Chain A
């Protein structure tokens, strides 16, 4: 795309959330799974939402789509789709949007397909409902989509049950179901986590190719920064229900600000590293969403945290790089960060000597 940067910003976002909050009533108290998230996804763009399990990323995607159970859930803030407020709509009102405008690809193709229904029927269901097709028309369309998602022998596959297909094939079926009615917005919730490593890249390639061809937007949820690297335009890093850093993909990888993002980056397994080299694990546990820590929620696990981090919550601020925001008192590259880093290095070398 050759259009200039400011022009891009003027395009109205397809999806926009403002201070979206999603809380669950639990026996222990209120769990703030999503706690004030503001983000935009433009038409044809894809956003990667990255975080550990329990960071609220899955709840965020379901909350935007309005897919949460009605009991025990408190949802506040605004969700706009194509400029229209949909945050206050009931599931019944959302039905015309689901499947037709928005679709979701789930993590586990083993459990997400109905085991007792032929996959063809599972694909054609929404075609018949939303587009009013007859069953033979819908079957023809389904066959074409199966071809698009590279399912070999589509005619035969349509008549098979999920258990007769491999994991990768099932995930392709799931993508076909999502694409069936030609939605504008695709939510992909860890679409490759349950698959073999060899199949993962194929599925991601397929997804991004289809997104491009159909000019769709995508929200890709994953715990693995490596997954989003090649497949998204932007990345939002979530921690404890909040977005803590957000930047265009390339910018993020070249100019990390948040120590948490840095730690996530270090935990990506790399092909070019010898297999026995250690992955840096982030010590500690994700924060308790019922009683989140004061100040920066990552502070208790952060090697660079100082007193102020525990006291005051850092606001989201603009980085020097464009479209890049982060929430940290002492970001990567700051003087305090380097000071602590030197100390840490010294400490680790001395321990190594002692040992």
Chain B
């Protein structure tokens, strides 16, 4: 129990540090006033501009010191008030933009993780059980190729081959389509993110399964007369999953990073592509909100991974 409390406390501390860093970077490195007003912010000779600057400063509390602004922002943020977007007309609340787009990204990342896990596990099992043979070597080389393919390049290739040349997959994502076709439209984007990660998982899991297969308890399982697939699935897989789970957790970051690229290439209006657009438009509250949401979910996922550990390995249970 103490372990769980400690881990949660650390996670909260981390989130605070992450938010300070993000908020600080945006306010110190960036110029919030310029972000709000655009060129007007620099025009201090024009009385109209000065008036606008005054108003903006009051409205966004820019006249207060940084720590106070941070406190105000944080208390708003935890209550779900992410501010308003600067650039769109009518200043819609950021929370609306996020709640519309976040589910798409979550679906995409989940789908990618699903592909990665369910491609890598059978792949690793098969190659580990034929370690050293030709088929294993070819697959190791394949994994190398996949890992070396940056996901934006993979996205372009998949799009070219499957959407443009073969025409098997739709070219674009249509937000108004029914759920089933939207899921279908996400397959290529999810593969873009998931395949290189699957190669990473496979390499790790293959090594761990090979190590497990040399354990005495596998020999015992053989003396019971169990078939090879059964031994692999029932005896070798689970004890080999420890580092796999950690890496699956850690790679969620890579998947989110991948979703930024994939959403941009395949034109999916998720928070990844929104982050890029907002960054290019200097839309400060949106950037802040997205970075915070992404980092928080990353911290929380890692926390859950640590807890999942205790479920898989009965030895670390307390």
The chain A residues found within 8 Å of chain B, CB to CB, are: 65, 67, 71, 91, 94-100, 102-104, 106, 108, 111-117, 125-126, 129-130, 161, 163, 174, 177-178
User: Is B313 within 8 A of A129, CB to CB?
Assistant: no
- Whether A114 pairs with B225 at a CB distance below 8 angstroms is no
User: Among the interface residues B215, B216, B224, B313, which one has the most CB atoms of the partner chain A within 10 A?
Assistant: B224
A-B contacts, 30 listed (Cβ < 8 Å)? A65-B223, A71-B132, A91-B222, A95-B226, A98-B223, A99-B224, A99-B225, A104-B223, A106-B216, A106-B219, A108-B216, A111-B216, A111-B217, A113-B220, A114-B235, A114-B239, A116-B313, A116-B314, A117-B234, A125-B221, A125-B234, A126-B224, A126-B226, A129-B225, A129-B226, A130-B225, A163-B314, A163-B315, A177-B224, A178-B223
B221 & A114 in contact (Cβ 8 Å cutoff):
yes
Q: What's the least CB distance linking A242 to chain B, in Å? A: 25
B232 CB → nearest A CB, Å: 13
Q: Of B215, B221, B234, B315, which contacts A111 at CB under 8 A?
A: B215
A-B residue pairs, 4 tightest by C-beta: A99-B225, A98-B225, A99-B224, A112-B216
Residues of chain B from 252 to 306 with CB closer than 8 A to chain A in the complex? none
- Taking a contact as CB atoms under 8 Å apart, the answer to whether B235 and A117 are in contact is yes
Which residue on B lies nearest to A121, using beta carbons? B234
- Give the CA-CA distance A106 to B219 in the complex, in Å: 9
Q: Is B46 an interface residue (CB 8 A)?
A: no
Chain B: minimal CB distance from A125 (Å):
6
Tell me which residues from 138 to 188 in chain B have a Cβ below 8 Å from any Cβ of chain A: none
Closest to B237 in A: A116
Give the complex CA separation of A163 and B313 in angstroms.
Answer: 11
Q: Given the complex, which residues of B lie within 8 Å of A115, measured CB to CB? A: 217, 239, 313-315
**Once bound together, how far apart are the Cα atoms of A102 and B223, in whole Å?**
8
B71 proximal to A (CB < 8 A):
no
CB distance from A99 to the nearest CB of B (A): 4
Q: Which of A104, A115, A116, A130 has the most CB of B within 10 A?
A: A116
Residues of B within 8 A of A (CB): 132, 215-217, 219-227, 234-235, 238-239, 312-315
Residues on A with C-beta less than 8 A from B222 are 67, 91, 98
Q: A71-B132, A111-B216, A111-B217 are in contact. Are A103 and B223 (CB under 8 A)?
A: yes
Among candidates A71, A103, A113, A161, residue contacting B217 with C-beta atoms closer than 8 Å: A113
**B217 and A98 within 8 A (CB):** no
Whether B224 lies near A112 (C-beta < 8 A) is: no
Are the CB atoms of B235 and A96 closer together than 8 Å? no
Known interface pairs A114-B235, A115-B315, A163-B315; A126-B225 also in contact (CB < 8 Å): yes
- Whether A99 and B215, one on each chain, are in contact in the complex, defined by CB atoms closer than 8 angstroms, is no
Chain B proximity of A47: nearest CB distance (Å): 18
- Rounded to whole Å, the gap between the CB of A150 and the closest CB of chain B is 21
- List, in ascending order, chain A residues with CB within 8 A of B219's CB: 67, 104, 106, 112
**In the complex where A117-B235, A163-B314 touch, is A112 in contact with B225 (Cβ < 8 A)?**
no
Select from chain A the residue with minimum beta-carbon distance to B238: A116
Q: Is the CB of A98 within 8 A of B312?
A: no
In the complex, residue of chain A having the shortest beta-carbon distance to the beta carbon of B223: A104
Give the residue among B219, B223, B314 with the most A Cβ atoms within 10 A. B223
- Give Cα distance in the complex from A227 to B235, angstroms: 32
Would you give the shortest CB distance from A121 to chain B, in whole angstroms? 9
Is B216 a contact of A95 with CB atoms below 8 Å?
no
Q: A125 contacts B239, CB within 8 Å?
A: no
Contact B220 A177 (CB under 8 A): yes
Q: Which residues of chain B are near A177, meaning CB under 8 Å?
A: 220, 224
**Which of A91, A96, A102, A115 has the most chain B CB atoms closer than 10 A to its own CB?**
A115
Taking the closest CB of chain B, its distance from the CB of A142, in whole angstroms, is 13
In whole angstroms, how far apart are the Cα atoms of A103 and B220 in the complex? 9
Name the residue of chain B whose CB is nearest to the CB of A65: B223
Residues from chain B with Cβ under 8 Å of A112 in the complex? 216-217, 219-220
Residues of A near B238 (CB, < 8 A) are 116-117
From residue B211, how far is it (CB to closest CB) to chain A in Å? Answer: 13
Name the B residues within 8 Å of A161 (CB-CB): 314-315
**Which listed residue, B217, B220, B315, touches A104 by the CB 8 Å rule?**
B220
Alpha-carbon separation in the docked complex, A114 to B234 (Å):
10
Residue from B132, B215, B227, B239 within 8 A of A95 (CB atoms): B227
Contact of A116 with B224 in the complex, beta carbons under 8 Å: no
Q: Which of A99, A108, A113, A117 contacts B223 (CB 8 A)?
A: A99
List B contacts of A117 (CB < 8 A): 234-235, 238
Q: Which residues of B contact A91 (CB under 8 A)?
A: 222
Given contacts A112-B216, A174-B220, is CB(A100)–CB(B315) below 8 Å?
Answer: no
Residues of B contacting A106 with CB < 8 Å?
A: 216, 219-220
Q: Which residues of B contact A126 (CB under 8 A)?
A: 224-226
Q: Tell me, in angstroms, the Cα distance from A113 to B221 when the chains sit together.
A: 9
Report yes or no: B216 in contact with A96, Cβ–Cβ below 8 A: no
Bound complex: CA A23 to CA B239 (Å): 31
